Structure 1
Amino acid sequence: MVTKFESFLAKSDLAKNTVSSYVWTVNHFLVNYGDVNKENLLAYKGFLIENFKLQTVNLRLQAINKYLEFIKQEKLKLKFVKVQQRNFLENVISDADYKFLKSKLKADGHDGWYFIVWFMAATGARVSELQQIKVEHVLAGYLDMYTKGGKIRRLYIPKGLRVEAIKWIAEKQVQSGYLFVNRFGERLTTRGIAQQLKHFAVKYNLNPKVVYPHSFRHRFAKNFLERFNDIALLADLMGHESIETTRIYLRRTASEQQQIVDKIVNW
């Protein structure tokens, strides 16, 4: 039945990673709990709540509910866990630390990683989108990508970054192909990028919790709104389906809130 479920998902408009996640979750439930009934489903939900973050819990429950739809057992669907929305952003690299990291990478000759950090912070690219950037896209100044809904999202490469990246490409004597590759000419993996960024964080005495790929996407959004307060445009640039997702960037980070409180509260 799980194999049929996987085939069913493969025909839907879901990303490969999502399909894999759904199949893994259903397999995990069936192996450990057996029969699909309300008692077992609630027990599994309890296990998830005790062992995972709430966002992960809801992703797992979404997979289970999709499977229940598939086997025509919608009446057994589980309710999602309410995630209380924080009124601040957590673990976002500061603009000062971002600039410091960039300057250190450049000074120490880590040109590839200098551009990786710059590309993520200047384009708002997800790490999976960063992997798709080619020399040809840098020369054109943008990269067009299809979203899950079949829409085209354009990832713009700003002029300053484009000019410097073209010089770097010329120095490497590369004329085409993926921009960020390892010494074997293969694209860098998402895991490899994340691990190397942590390495640089430790090397340069930065907080490793704020030096990870998505942190630079957050930085892009924060910097963009500070310089051009158009949240609808930012939502388009980031590929958000709902503008509500983008509203989080109107909030201060936890450290920014602390600094403001420390500065103004003297009573």
Structure 2
Amino acid sequence: MITKYKSFLSRQDLAANTVRSYVWTVTHFLEKYKEVTRENLLAYKGYLVENHKPQTVNLRLQAINKYLEFIRKEKLKMRFVKVQQKNFLENVISDADYKFLKTRLKRDGHTSWYFVVWFLTATGARVSELLQIKAEHVQQGYLDIYSKGGKLRRLYIPKSLRAEALVWLKERNLESGYIFLNRFGERITARGIAQQLKLFAQKYGINTAVVYPHSFRHRFAKNFLDRFNDLALLADLMGHESIETTRIYLRRTATEQQAIVDKIVNW
């Protein structure tokens, strides 16, 4: 049955990681409870709530609900748990730390990683999108990305970044193809980027909790709104389906909130 469920998911145009996650969840459920009944489903939901964060709980419930569709027991579908939205952003690298990291990487000769950090922060790219950038895209100043739904998003490469990157590529005699490569001439991986960024954070004394690929995408959004307060445009640039997703960037980080309170509250 699990094999058939996996085939069912594969026809749903889901990402490979999502399919693996859903299959793992249903396998885990069936190992614990054997039968699909309302009582067992509610017991599993209770187990998830006690042991996982709301986002993880909802991911697992989505997997179970997909399975219920597959076995045609949609009436047993479970409601998601409410995710309490924080009124601040967490673990976003500060602009000062971003600039410090960039400066140190360049000074110490870690040029490729200097450009990894700059491209992430100046384009708002997801790490998976960063890995798609080729020399041809740098030359033309943008990269067109198509989502699974067929929607087009243009990832712009700012003028200053483009100019310096072209010099870097010329020094490497790289006129075409992917630009972020490992020592074997193959594309670096998302996991490799995340691990190396943590190592640089430790080396330069930056809080490792704020140094990860998506943190630089957050910094792009924060800096963009600080300089050009157009939420709708930012939503388009980041590829958000809903502008509500983008509103989080109107909020300050916890560190920024603390600094403001420390400065103004004297009563």
Provide TM-score, normalisation by structure 1: 0.97
- The separation in 2 between residues aligned to 1:165 and 1:33, in whole angstroms, is 56
1:1-267 pair list within 5 angstroms: 1-267=1-267
- In structure 1, the gaps of 5 or more residues are none
CA distance in 1: counterparts of 2:107 and 2:50, whole angstroms: 46
Deviations 1:53-77 (A, max 9, x none): 2111111111111110111111111
Q: Is the 8 A contact 1:13 1:149 kept in 2?
A: no
1:145 partner SS = strand
Please report how far the alpha carbon of residue 16 of structure 1 lies from its aligned counterpart in structure 2 after TM superposition: 2.2
SS at 2:184 equivalent: coil
Separation of aligned partners in 1, 2:140 and 2:10:
33
Distance in 1 (CA, whole Å) between partners of 2:154 and 2:19 is 25
Q: What are structure 2's unaligned runs of at least 5 residues?
A: none
Separation (CA, whole Å) in 2 of partners of 1:161 and 1:99: 14
CA shift, 1:116, in A, is 0.3
> Partners of 2:165 and 2:104 in 1: how far apart?
17
**Distance in 2 between the 1:25 and 1:120 partners?**
32
What's the CA shift for 1:3?
A: 1.7
For 2:20 and 2:68, how far apart are their aligned partners in 1?
Answer: 17
* 1:229-267 superposed Cα distances (whole Å, 9 cap, x missing partner): 110010010010000000000000000000000000000
State which drifts further: 183-192 or 248-257.
183-192
The Cα shift of 1:165 comes to: 0.5
Q: Secondary structure at the match of 2:144?
A: strand
The range that moved more, 187-196 or 204-213, is 187-196
Q: Which secondary structure does the structure 1 equivalent of 2:161 belong to? A: helix
> Mean Cα displacement is larger for which, 131-140 or 44-53?
44-53
Change (3 A) 1:51 1:186: farther
- Report the alpha carbon displacement of residue 20 of structure 1 after superposing the two structures with TM: 2.0
For the aligned residue pairs, the C-alpha RMSD in angstroms reads 1.0
Task: Give SS of 2:116's match.
Answer: helix
- Give distance in 2, aligned partners of 1:66 and 1:194: 31
Shift of 1:43: 2.0
Deviation at 1:196, TM superposition (A): 0.6
- SS at the partner of 1:155? strand
Shift of 1:134: 1.1
- Tell me the CA shift for residue 96 of structure 1: 0.4
Matches of 1:180 and 1:28 in 2, distance apart?
38
